[in-house]
Amino acid sequence: MAGMPQARPSGGVASPAQKKFKVVLLGESGVGKSSLVLRLVKDEWMSSQHSTVGASFFRHAVNVNGQPVNFDIWDTAGQERYKSLASMYYRGAAAALVVYDITNMDSFERARYWIQQLIANSPETIVVLVGNKIDKESERMVPREEAKRLATESSLFPYEASAKDGTRVVDIFRDIAAKLVEKGASVPQVGSGGVVGRNGEKVPNKGTGGKKSGGCPCSS
């Protein structure tokens, strides 16, 4: 995204003066949401992972022009039976990544559903559309032009990435951090995970810390 402040990864522990934002990943099971987070946080990739149950919680930090920006990242389950729980995680989020698999048109169509939910229920959230698995370009089923059209129609930021080889994964989160700093006080910040219940009440942080259970292997 042109014109944004430059951001760079940073380690270290967040202090109260540092900015902290909730970021959520949404999308169908198997599109690679967990793999994207694993690539970001640990610079690793696994050829197979069990499906996320409920949601997994991660922390990551970057610097934007010397200013620390901390992310509380919620990786939500993509299975249909967990769909009703997703609003607990995306409500009040500063940013959301709606992820689809470029080799799976159904996952792209389902991305439309998540975009509609975010626009209707969390309009303050910055939404990023991410086409994962560009390492499988020869198997592409979702045309780039169609993804760009959806992003334009919904005022989203479009990206394509690969959790497998790391292409653009860090760039996505750097750009989100820069955009959040640019927006300043208009963006909601969180203090302890930022999970919000149906009636607006704060729900205790019960993220699984990256642990997965279930039986569906999800790659890239």
Least Cα distance to 131 among 100, 154, 103, 156 occurs for 100
Q: Is the dihedral of CA 83, 87, 89, 95 positive or negative?
A: positive
Is 22 strand, coil or helix?
strand
pLDDT digits (tens, 9 = 90+) for 112-166: 999 999 999 999 999 999 999 999 999 999 999 999 999 999 999 999 999 999 9
**In which band, very low, low, confident or very high, does the pLDDT at 52 lie, cut at 50, 70 and 90?**
low
Distance CA 24, CA 11 (A): 20
Domain boundaries, the chain: 18-187
pLDDT at 194: 46
Q: What is the pTM of this model?
A: 0.77
60-81 residues labelled b (16+ CB within 10 A) or e (exposed)? bbbbbeeebbbbbbbbbbbeee
Phi and psi (nearest 5°) for 32?
Answer: 105, 25
pLDDT tens per residue across span 24-49: 999 998 999 999 999 999 999 887 66
What's the CATH class of domain 18-187?
alpha beta
70-102 per-position pLDDT tens digit:
999 999 875 555 566 777 888 889 999 999 999
CA distances from 15 to 35, 69, 179, 194, 195 (A): 28, 10, 21, 17, 20
Q: Which residue has the tokens 């901390």?
A: 70
**What would you report as the CA-atom Rg of the chain, rounded to the nearest whole angstrom?**
16
**What is the mean pLDDT of the segment spanning 4-21?**
55
